[in-house]
Amino acid sequence: MHALVERLYPLCRSITGDGVRATLDIVGEYVPLRVHEVPTGTRVLDWTVPQEWNIRDAYVAGPDGHRVVDFAASSLHVLGYSVPVSATMPLAELREHLHTLPDHPSWVPYRTSYYKPQWGFCLAQETLDAMPDGEYEVRIDSTLADGHLTYAEHVVPGQVSDEVIVSCHICHPSLANDNLAGVAVAVFLARALAELTPYYTYRFIFAPGTIGAITWLARNAERVERVRHGLVLACAGDRGQVTYKQSRRGDAEIDRVLRHVLKVSERPHRIQEFTPYGYDERQYCSPGFDLGVGSLGRTPYAGYPEYHTSADNPDFVSPEAMEDTLAVCREAFAVLDRNRRYVNLSPYGEPQLGRRGLYDSLGGRSDAQQAQMAMLWVLSLSDGEHSLLDVAERSGLAFDTVAAAADALRDAELIKA
């Protein structure tokens, strides 16, 4: 995962353009993708697909001709979606187009202007402080022209057509935690699920933030009713503790599953209430769709100083943190896939478990008492109304223990799904 982050890091991504396509080309080497191109001007819900932005070069050259700001050194150096410019101007005039972080003088900020024609450069405050007065050559070799918005999907087929969506944004340039770690976790999650025979169909969406998710929703209105659960992956690789942001509903099954998995795992973690700000969970959870989609990552949106700066580089993300984020996803989806409602086929009084060999099967197990209690709880709540997650929450037992008990009772023909 970390190697994938490092490979994707230098590419200049935006909400449209060849950087997005190059990113998807690399992701497509890991998992097969279906790539979609949506033309400029296409109406998508209340939005319109914008013109496509591409950039070849950009720089600010000082009075001595030396490039003091160079796009070739980092894609962060240019204000995203900058219109083309070729001019010479004094430093006083140029300053109006320069963006820095005075509180972190060695870092370069990430700034964009998607929907308002502007141009600008981002640079370290210490670089700006060292720039002498004089005439500066300014050049941004970019194009804004009718083209396409690009997004991609990868599908892991399941036993049923009901879907779980996993969404990550691919619109940020050289930012390792705020989007590339989420992309990497999504890729390796998809590969892990492909080795199984999952119950649900898992649809992975790699799309530009906001406009990409809105475009997907606009183009998949007929499929939305199949979406049972969903997860947005973002900021998935920093060294902070796992954070889960709940869906707008707050009681969607994905919310309950993540709360249970994180509690039982005893990982340090945070559960956040939904807010209509952040990543694309706010699009999937908008009231017209109201999907059960939460967001999983480490330190929350804008919650670390390196956020949207050059300090969010591959050294900032941890292989161990990405591995842990991936593990949480796998644990959560394992619960989703096995969460069923059962009916007790011997509901009048407690069935005799001993003569069916169910007690004997527990002999010598260190968790025999918990396993026995799990069987009794499953039998008690198998009324067709309660799911195994309901049983786990009410009993205080781990879902895995409850699911194993249900498997044993089903095999003994005491319950049926």
Q: What CATH class is the domain 2-50+148-338?
A: alpha beta
**Confidence grade of residue 359 (pLDDT, cut at 50, 70, 90):** confident
Task: Tell me the backbone φ, ψ of residue 347, rounded to 5 degrees.
Answer: -85, -5
- Residue intervals of the chain classified under CATH 1.10.10.10 are 341-416
Name the residue with tokens 């209509």. Answer: 276
- Give the integer Cα–Cα distance in Å for 145 and 329: 39
Identify the pLDDT of residue 226.
96
User: For 210-235, what is the mean pLDDT?
Assistant: 97
Kindly report, residue by residue over 73-117, the tens digit of the pLDDT: 999 999 999 999 999 999 999 999 999 999 999 999 999 999 999
Identify the pLDDT of residue 339.
97
For the cut 60, the answer to whether the pLDDT of residue 301 exceeds it is: yes
For the cut 60, the answer to whether the pLDDT of residue 364 exceeds it is: no
For the cut 90, the answer to whether the pLDDT of residue 357 exceeds it is: no
Name the residue with tokens 């070799």. Answer: 141
Q: Which residue type sits at 209? A: G
Least confident of 145-159, 313-327, 356-370, 372-386: 356-370
From residue 304, alpha-carbon distances to 185, 267, 311, 319 in Å are 20, 20, 10, 18
For the cut 70, the answer to whether the pLDDT of residue 169 exceeds it is: yes
Kindly report, residue by residue over 176-220, the tens digit of the pLDDT: 999 999 999 999 999 999 999 999 999 999 999 999 999 999 999
The answer to whether 378 touches 342, Cβ cutoff 8 Å, is yes
**Percentage of the chain lying above the pLDDT 70 cut:** 98
- Residue intervals of the chain classified under CATH 3.50.30.90 are 53-145
**Confidence grade of residue 356 (pLDDT, cut at 50, 70, 90):** confident
Identify the pLDDT of residue 369.
84
For the cut 90, the answer to whether the pLDDT of residue 365 exceeds it is: no
Which fold, 53-145? Answer: Glucose Oxidase; domain 1 (3.50.30)
**Confidence grade of residue 253 (pLDDT, cut at 50, 70, 90):** very high
Task: Look over the chain and give the mean of its residue pLDDT values, rounded to a whole number.
Answer: 96
Write down how long the chain is: 417
Identify the pLDDT of residue 361.
61
Q: Is 173 exposed, middle or buried (0-12, 13-18, 19+ CB in 10 A)?
A: buried
CATH 1.10.287.130 describes domain 341-416:
no
- Residue intervals of the chain classified under CATH 3.40.630.10 are 2-50+148-338
**Confidence grade of residue 354 (pLDDT, cut at 50, 70, 90):** confident
